Structure 1
Amino acid sequence: MTEAILKVEGLKKYFDTPKGKLHAVDDVNFEIKKGETLGLVGESGCGKSTAGRLILRLLEATDGNITFDGKNVTNMQKKELAKLRRDVQIIFQDPFSSLNPRLSVSEIIAEPLIVHKIVENKNSKLEKEVLRLMDIVGLAERLINSYPHELDGGRRQRIGIARALALRPKFIVADEPVSALDVSIQAQILNLMQDLQEELGLTYLFITHDLSVVKHISDSIAVMYLGKIIEKAPTNELFKNSLHPYTQALLSAIPVPSLKSKKDRILLKGEISSPIEPKPGCRFAPRCNYAMEKCFNTDPKLIEVKPDHFVSCFLVTD
């Protein structure tokens, strides 16, 4: 049985605001096995991108533990963290703002190699390595001296992927890597990421709000709502047998490319709960069609109801 390369336990991130503490990530638990992809899904503002940044220590956690490849990431000092950067990388959502406009394609891809002293600057080996990375992600050699503003979104995102691959990492956080791209380009990038995963044995945390995209690339899916994971299951199981009302509503919103087949859309009503100093109870309860009195005053726990299928809902677990 494949061991988990990443374990996240009780992860929390609170931000101070004038009205109190904003619970961006609140007691999140999951693990990812080596060579697999976990899709982290939820609407904007649910805390999924914050969770990705916490894992990489781009943000400091308020509480919880992150274990990567057997090492505790949470308490790592600067020297250890610098070594960790070789093994964990990120592909950002916006392929334009995440690239330095003053650097050419070759300089952007070469930067991590120089910073980590893998290849010396102004060395023939450096150019060969840059060209190798460009070839891997499907960037033409003629673009080596181009700048980000001269390229389209798909090529910019390929630069971001090449930069992430430069240090030959084991694990990549892909933070909505295709949401800013056209549909045809999305398919190209997703196929590229899958091919690279097979060739290089990569492990992904794939963050997105698009369930149709995450189905294409993920082995398992965790659904997040207002800082908490409310359901987690293997991809096929989640699509065939979703149990949480919020997951069911998300799945019902996926467009069906057919004029004949009709799909009943589950419409959510009510106000979204405030993530600032949230009251006890299920955070989805104000919008849930099946909410009971218990849902408004008791926090539901994430419980395994089937093998590898976890859900946080009293309708299912009681």
Structure 2
Amino acid sequence: MSLKTASRVLNNEPSVSESTRLKVRAAADALGFRRNAVAADLARGGVSRLVGFVTGDIANPFYSDLASGIERELRKHGLQLITASSDEDVDRERELIDALIERRVAALFIAPTADDHSYLRSELADGVPIVFLDRPPGGIDADTVVLDNRAGAAAAARHLVDQGHRRIALAGDLPRLWTFRERREGFVNALRDAGIGDPERYVRDGLHDAETARVAVEELLALDEPPTAILTANNKITQGALRALHPAARGARRDVALVGFDDFELADILQVSVVGYEVSAMGQEAARLAVARIESPGEPAHLRVVPTVLIARGSGEIALAAPLEGVPAVG
């Protein structure tokens, strides 16, 4: 039996007798042989059916939900998603992107942590479908899907102002991240528009996990004039804030209003008000952009902005306690 005949069987090509097909399959099973689909596609001058996704932090449920939305849409087109995490490390992000491009993935999704992606200009010119998620790319024009971060943070800040609060804190992520910069801008502008002086008085950033968020919120609550309301800039920071506000925590305040940016599991049970949005829909839209780019590589870059909505569940509706009679409220 020739090598060519065996190859035709393993690649499911026609014009091979059933008896020959069975013999080749039996021999392959005995040897533990598995067809290398990627190599087969590349040998034919094509690309693999694999699609790469470089996330910011795989431990964050936001990214797993995003990947789920992408995967469901790609499945309709016979594409498979592989995911890797940069852990918000710029060098790691570049390494992962280079490795995936070298393997000639059919498309690439990036939730960027770096602010310069000009090194991808030649890949875009060659028609490689690249879609940026959650944060826009730096130095290039590419398909992008982001949230309306400013509007979401502004809506949360106005909601807390409407409950009578004036000392409102923002517990934020890494200041270099575009998403947090946008949310901070929306928050600060909303407080300024409400006539609150020094709107950045209670802004704290660099809180990239639940533990650093817990410590920061506890420090805010220990101030001589602590905030009476808090907006947390992502789901992990919200979880840290909840620990700081829990009755068992030292110095906890039950009367502090809280709105979190990003919904999360059990937030409804815990009655946490959030700025929410459809994460999976965001992923599906990104996948549709990638598929469209595969089919029409010459199209100009597209920007999709996913709207947010304030979901009131109780924690963000804690009104400012009335001041004692004869004692003015501190603004």
**Structure 1 length as normaliser, TM-score?**
0.30
Structure whose alpha-carbon radius of gyration is higher: 2
Structure with the larger RCO, 1 or 2 (CA within 8 Å, 6+ apart): 1
From the two aligned structures, give the one with the greater strand fraction.
1
**Structure 2 length as normaliser, TM-score?**
0.29
From the two aligned structures, give the one with the greater helix fraction.
2
